[in-house]
């Protein structure tokens, strides 16, 4: 996690902008231009997404340390969408941004290895190593247990990548499974949290945080604080700020005494800022940047300085 923490410190901003591009968020002038070239096709939609993202990345790169493309928004447009995802990752990384691929992947060992190669690593093509999506981190669903997480770890170490394991998610029904008490009277989310500490043991970086992070939602501030206290080496990705109702006070418990330990995500509140504020569609990226600055300032004011 050192690279992410360094980027947060350099920009004095512990937030990540989510790139979840629904067509409805994309200004008409961008969609029109894409359809003029490719028609109202999957390719046209993917071209609009990429153009929208590039404008956002140009405006956001000086402000945020990281972006989080949610793979589903790209996958819905087939291979054309996946090509837009790949180009988005490259464009963001060229601008020095840390890219968290939100794939929420998981499967049994060998299949998980293939996901890891695709999204974080390289794949061998008859003796030649090639990289596909090459994100800096990946969100991972832990439901299959260690078999679904362990295959990622050597690759993360080799290529300096990280993972964020779903621990206590931000959605309303997250408690159905995650809050369940197990035989030892601990919740499932606390148990998965401890597994994150175990999985990350050998990989602690300069700041004491391991390559195995956790996802914990802004919509459950008490659990965020409980997890922060219980998991001193686990860095948190905290979604649920903004559109899902989380605010600066809610995310504050995710941080440690140095103001480190968490990065807060917002997607819709940044992507749709131009629509919410009634800005001209040409200024969509400017509106997104203004919302990112507002979010940063609100969180920094609440949490204090970043060491």
- E strand or H helix at 18: strand 15-19
Interface stretch with ligand OMP, choices 118-126, 153-161, 183-191, 264-272 (CB under 6 A): 264-272
Q: Is residue 139 near ligand OMP by the rule CB under 6 A?
A: yes
Does residue 204 sit in helix, strand or coil?
A: coil
Compute the distance between CA of residue 25 and CA of residue 35 in angstroms, rounded to an integer. 16
Name which of 122, 82, 85, 111 is nearest 100 in CA terms. Answer: 85
The nearer residue to ligand OMP, 43 or 231, going by C-beta atoms, is 231
The nearer residue to ligand OMP, 215 or 273, going by C-beta atoms, is 215
Q: In the complex, what is the shortest distance from the CB of residue 167 to ligand OMP, in angstroms, rounded to a whole number?
A: 9
Give the interface size with ligand OMP as a residue count (CB under 6 A).
20
Alpha-carbon torsion, ordered 203, 167, 123, 78, to 10 deg: -160
The nearer residue to ligand OMP, 33 or 247, going by C-beta atoms, is 247
- List the one residue from 65, 242, 259, 261 that touches ligand OMP (CB under 6 A): 242
- E strand or H helix at 60: helix 42-60
Compute the distance between CA of residue 285 and CA of residue 276 in angstroms, rounded to an integer. 13
Helix ranges restricted to H, 135-211: 146-149, 152-159, 175-178, 188-200
- List the one residue from 15, 162, 169, 223 that touches ligand OMP (CB under 6 A): 169
Compute the distance between CA of residue 148 and CA of residue 242 in angstroms, rounded to an integer. 31
The nearer residue to ligand OMP, 43 or 291, going by C-beta atoms, is 291
Does 68 participate in catalysis according to the annotation? no
- List the one residue from 51, 88, 102, 287 that touches ligand OMP (CB under 6 A): 102
What are the start-end ranges of the E strands in 74-175?
98-105, 122-125, 128-131, 137-140, 162-168
Q: In the complex, what is the shortest distance from the CB of residue 12 to ligand OMP, in angstroms, rounded to a whole number?
A: 21
Distance, CA of 288 to chain centre: 17
- List the one residue from 13, 51, 70, 210 that touches ligand OMP (CB under 6 A): 70
Q: Is residue 218 near ligand OMP by the rule CB under 6 A?
A: no
The nearer residue to ligand OMP, 43 or 57, going by C-beta atoms, is 57
Does residue 42 sit in helix, strand or coil?
A: helix
Q: In the complex, what is the shortest distance from the CB of residue 179 to ligand OMP, in angstroms, rounded to a whole number?
A: 14
- In this structure, the number of other CB atoms found within 10 A of the CB of residue 177 comes to 12
- List the one residue from 217, 221, 259, 261 that touches ligand OMP (CB under 6 A): 217
- List the one residue from 161, 265, 290, 291 that touches ligand OMP (CB under 6 A): 265
Catalytic residues: 104
Binding site for ligand OMP (CB under 6 A): 18, 20, 70, 102, 104, 139, 169-171, 215, 217, 239-240, 242-244, 265-268
């Amino acid at each position: 996690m050192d690279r992410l923490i360094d980027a947060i410190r350099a920009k004095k901003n512990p937030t990540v902008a989510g790139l979840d591009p629904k067509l409805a968020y994309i200004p008409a002038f961008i969609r029109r231009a894409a359809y003029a070239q490719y028609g109202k096709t999957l390719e046209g939609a993917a071209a609009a997404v990429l153009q929208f993202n590039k404008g956002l990345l140009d405006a956001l790169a000086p402000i945020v340390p990281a972006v989080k493309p949610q793979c589903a928004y790209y996958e819905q447009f087939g291979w054309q969408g996946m090509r837009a995802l790949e180009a988005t990752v490259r464009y963001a990384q060229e601008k020095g941004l840390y890219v968290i691929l939100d794939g929420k992947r998981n499967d049994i060992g060998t299949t998980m290895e293939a996901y890891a190669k695709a999204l974080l690593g390289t794949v061998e093509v008859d003796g030649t190593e090639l990289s596909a999506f090459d994100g800096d981190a990946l969100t991972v669903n832990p439901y299959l247990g260690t078999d679904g997480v362990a295959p990622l770890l050597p690759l993360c170490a080799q290529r300096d990548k990280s993972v964020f394991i779903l621990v206590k998610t931000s959605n309303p029904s997250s408690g159905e499974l995650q809050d369940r008490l197990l035989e030892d009277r601990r919740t499932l989310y606390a148990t998965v949290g401890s597994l994150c500490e175990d999985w990350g043991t050998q990989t602690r970086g300069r700041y004491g945080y391991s390559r195995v992070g956790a996802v914990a939602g802004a919509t459950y501030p008490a659990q965020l604080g409980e997890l922060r206290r219980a998991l001193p080496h686990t860095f948190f990705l905290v979604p649920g700020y903004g559109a899902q109702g989380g605010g600066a006070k809610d995310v504050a418990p995710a941080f440690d005494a140095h103001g480190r330990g968490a990065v807060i995500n917002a997607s819709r509140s940044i992507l749709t800022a131009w629509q919410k504020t009634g800005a001209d569609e040409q200024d969509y990226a400017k509106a997104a940047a203004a919302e990112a600055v507002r979010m940063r300032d609100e969180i920094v004011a609440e949490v204090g300085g970043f060491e």
